[in-house]
């Protein structure tokens, strides 16, 4: 029966000792240990979170880079295309202009030739006229020396005149 | 085992070997710390005896009894006459000069004063406290020294245990939000019980059987009971006196059962730890006694083999019982602080 009867002395000392142990360990052991452990766990959690964030940021950056690259490529493409178009257009324009210029020059040349021709014709006409007049003068002088001949001449000339006029 | 064997031999020389007495002597508390026998003389560490008598506080060393445990050696101190009988201190009545017994060998002319002696168990408890303080304060200092809270040295050994108590006992039993308040108690009780369970297994300490003493388990169970009762919220008391969700006759029927349950919980804690540890000790001692019962060295190998087997189991039991006590305490705190969720 002694075995299962709690003795007062041991209860007293156990209670006292346990309270003492609890208070001392609480202040000097459990608080620092649990504090350190949870601090570290917090630190690890934060480190993992920031690593995850960094990874995400990297991914975003990479996506951005790819997007920018794609855009740049597309832009280059359009630039090249535009350049090609401009080139062909310029060539076309130049060709057209050159054609027009050439046509214009040819026309001018033709006009000039026409003008020259007309002038030359006129001059020739004048020349022929004066020459004709001269010849006519001379002929007239020679013809006018006798009366018959004069008449005959007028007659011929008139005939001729109308003939040439026709 | 050395301690056990030598004392057994002494007993055998004195009288017929009585295994029951030997086992009880080892399992129970004692004034004075018997270490071993040397050339027929007991070598023991005297411990202070502290008594509260009618004349006030009376103290003397246990060595004054000269190893007498039969009540014959009378020590006179502070106007009182004291004898020690079966590790119990008796104060003789005023007119008596020696103790006289009745038919059942109980003293008739003596009373028992209030005994708060530093017994073997109290002594070992203090040794365990010193060791616990050394271990855990050293470990805590390690964290303070290191800047990144990395456990080094003894802290590396302690930390998994502390984290185990926190993550496997505190958090699941009490709950994520409230467990912090109870952690110091749970940790202290876990390591206090565990180290004293281990001390009880060390043979040379002569079976200082603190955690197998019902006074010790009673005190710890009382702490759990008091903390549970004072942590009890409205929901907890409602579950005891007016169980929600059942018909009124059932409520009336359940209330006394729940009230009894309130007290049965700590009592079960007390008996479980006491019985487990004491049973282990009794088995080991009984196996050892076989050698002396059969009076043959031939039994020794069998006894030793079985004791070794039980001893290994006991080593596991030291941790398991500390764990169970802590888990159940935590569970009771969890029940007391649980919020209504119906």
Locate the chain B residue with the closest alpha carbon to A14: B216
Nearest to B28 among A3, A15, A43 (CB): A3
CB–CB of A30 and B188 under 8 A? yes
- Give CA torsion, residues B187, B192, B193, B194, to 10 deg: 80
Long-range CB contacts for residues B224-227, cutoff 8 Å, separation at least 24: B224/B189, B224/B266, B224/B269, B224/B328, B224/B329, B224/B332, B225/B263, B225/B265, B225/B266, B227/B182, B227/B185, B227/B329, B227/B333
Chain A to chain B Cβ contacts (< 8 Å):
131
Q: Tell me, what's the pLDDT at B191?
A: 95
CA angle A85/A87/A89 to nearest 5° reads 70
Higher pLDDT, B341 or B291: B291
* Matching residue, tokens 């006074």: B215
Kindly list the domain boundaries of chain A, sorted by start residue. Answer: 11-165
Q: Tell me, what's the pLDDT at B143?
A: 84
> pTM (2 decimals)?
0.76
- Give CA torsion, residues B83, B84, B86, B88, to 10 deg: 100
Our CA-based measurement puts residue B7 at a distance from the nearest CA of chain A, in whole angstroms, of: 21
Other CB atoms within a 10 A radius of the CB of residue B268 amount to: 13
Contacts of A22 in chain B (CB under 8 A): 184-185, 188
Q: Tell me, what's the pLDDT at A23?
A: 95
- The whole-angstrom separation of Cα B189 and Cα A80 is 82
* Matching residue, tokens 């004054």: B64
Phi, psi (5° rounding) for residue B333?
A: -65, -40
CB–CB of A6 and B218 under 8 A? yes
Higher pLDDT, B223 or B298: B223
CA angle B35/B38/B40 to nearest 5° reads 115
* Position B184 pLDDT exceeds 90: yes
* Position B21 pLDDT exceeds 50: yes
- The whole-angstrom separation of Cα B324 and Cα B274 is 13
Q: Tell me, what's the pLDDT at B6?
A: 43
- All residue ranges of chain A with pLDDT < 50 are none
CB–CB of B136 and A33 under 8 A? yes
A136 burial via Cβ count (<10 Å: 0-12, 13-18, 19+) = middle
Q: Tell me, what's the pLDDT at B107?
A: 81
Helix (H, G, I), strand (E, B) or coil at B196: helix
Q: Tell me, what's the pLDDT at B216?
A: 93
The stretch B141-167 carries a mean pLDDT of 85
Determine contact, residues B274/B214, Cβ cutoff 8 Å: yes
Helix (H, G, I), strand (E, B) or coil at B34: strand
What residues in chain A have their Cβ under 8 A from chain B's Cβ atoms?
A: 2-15, 17-18, 20-22, 24-26, 28-37, 39-40, 43
Q: Tell me, what's the pLDDT at B93?
A: 80
Helix, strand, coil shares of chain B, percent, nearest 5, are 60, 15, 25
Q: How remote is the C-alpha of B117 from its chain's centroid?
A: 16
Nearest to B132 among A12, A14, A21 (CB): A21
The stretch B92-120 carries a mean pLDDT of 80
- The whole-angstrom separation of Cα B269 and Cα B329 is 8
Determine contact, residues A30/B183, Cβ cutoff 8 Å: yes
- β B88-92/B80-85 pair status: antiparallel
* Matching residue, tokens 């690259």: A69
Task: List the beta bridge partners of residue B57.
Answer: B52
Long-range CB contacts for residues B98-103, cutoff 8 Å, separation at least 24: B98/B72, B98/B74, B99/B71, B99/B72, B99/B74, B101/B71
Our CA-based measurement puts residue A57 at a distance from the nearest CA of chain B, in whole angstroms, of: 27
Optimal mutation site among A14, A24, A27, A42, interface B, most CBs of chain B within 10 A: A14
Other CB atoms within a 10 A radius of the CB of residue B248 amount to: 8
* Position B28 pLDDT exceeds 90: no
Contacts of A14 in chain B (CB under 8 A): 122, 125, 215-216, 219-220
Determine contact, residues B49/B60, Cβ cutoff 8 Å: yes
Contacts of B148 in chain A (CB under 8 A): 40
- The whole-angstrom separation of Cα B31 and Cα B108 is 22
CB–CB of A8 and B116 under 8 A? yes
Our CA-based measurement puts residue B107 at a distance from the nearest CA of chain A, in whole angstroms, of: 15
Determine contact, residues B216/A14, Cβ cutoff 8 Å: yes
Helix (H, G, I), strand (E, B) or coil at B50: strand
Extended beta strands in chain A, E state: none
Q: Tell me, what's the pLDDT at B15?
A: 55
Q: Tell me, what's the pLDDT at B171?
A: 92
């Amino acid at each position: 029966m002694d075995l299962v009867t709690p003795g007062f002395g041991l209860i007293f000392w156990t209670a006292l000792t346990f309270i003492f142990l609890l208070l001392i360990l609480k202040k000097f052991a459990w608080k620092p240990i649990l504090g350190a452990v949870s601090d570290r766990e917090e630190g690890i959690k934060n480190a993992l979170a920031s690593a995850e964030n960094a990874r995400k940021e990297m991914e975003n950056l990479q996506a951005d880079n790819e997007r920018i690259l794609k855009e740049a490529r597309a832009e280059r493409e359009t630039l090249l295309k535009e350049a090609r178009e401009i080139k062909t257009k310029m060539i076309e324009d130049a060709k057209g202009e050159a054609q027009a210029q050439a046509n214009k020059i040819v026309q001018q040349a033709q006009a000039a030739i026409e003008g020259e021709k007309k002038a030359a014709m006129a001059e020739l006409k004048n020349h022929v006229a004066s020459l004709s007049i001269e010849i006519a003068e001379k002929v007239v002088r020679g013809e006018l020396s006798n009366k018959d001949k004069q008449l005959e001449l007028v007659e011929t000339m008139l005939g001729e005149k109308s003939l040439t006029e026709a | 085992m050395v301690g056990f064997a030598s004392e057994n031999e002494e007993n055998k020389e004195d009288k017929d070997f009585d295994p029951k007495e030997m086992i009880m002597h080892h399992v129970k508390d004692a004034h004075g710390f018997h270490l071993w026998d040397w050339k027929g003389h007991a070598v023991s560490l005297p411990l202070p005896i502290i008594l509260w008598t009618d004349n006030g506080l009376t103290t003397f060393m246990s060595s004054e009894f000269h190893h007498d445990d039969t009540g014959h050696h009378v020590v006179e101190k502070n106007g009182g006459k004291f004898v020690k009988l079966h590790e119990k201190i008796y104060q003789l009545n005023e007119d008596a000069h020696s103790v006289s017994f009745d038919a059942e060998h109980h003293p008739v002319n003596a009373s028992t004063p209030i005994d708060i002696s530093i017994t073997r168990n109290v002594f070992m408890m203090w040794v365990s406290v010193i060791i616990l303080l050394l271990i855990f304060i050293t470990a805590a200092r390690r964290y303070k020294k290191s800047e990144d809270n990395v456990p080094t040295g003894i802290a590396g050994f302690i930390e998994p245990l502390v984290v185990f108590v926190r993550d496997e006992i505190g958090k699941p039993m009490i709950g994520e939000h409230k467990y912090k308040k109870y952690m110091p108690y749970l940790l202290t009780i876990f390591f206090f019980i565990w180290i004293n369970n281990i001390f009880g297994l060390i043979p040379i300490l002569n079976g200082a059987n603190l955690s197998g003493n019902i006074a010790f388990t009673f005190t710890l169970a009382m702490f759990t009971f008091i903390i549970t009762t004072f942590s009890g919220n409205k929901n907890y008391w409602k579950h005891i006196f007016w169980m929600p969700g059942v018909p009124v006759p059932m409520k009336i029927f359940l209330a006394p059962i729940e009230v009894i349950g309130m007290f049965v919980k700590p009592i079960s804690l007390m008996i479980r730890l006491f019985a487990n540890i004491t049973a282990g000790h009794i088995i080991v001692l009984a196996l050892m006694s076989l050698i002396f019962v059969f009076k043959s060295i031939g039994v020794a190998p069998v006894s030793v083999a079985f004791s070794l087997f039980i001893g290994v189991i006991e080593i596991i039991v030291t941790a398991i019982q500390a764990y169970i006590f802590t888990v159940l305490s935590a569970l009771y705190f969890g029940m007391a602080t649980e919020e209504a969720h119906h």
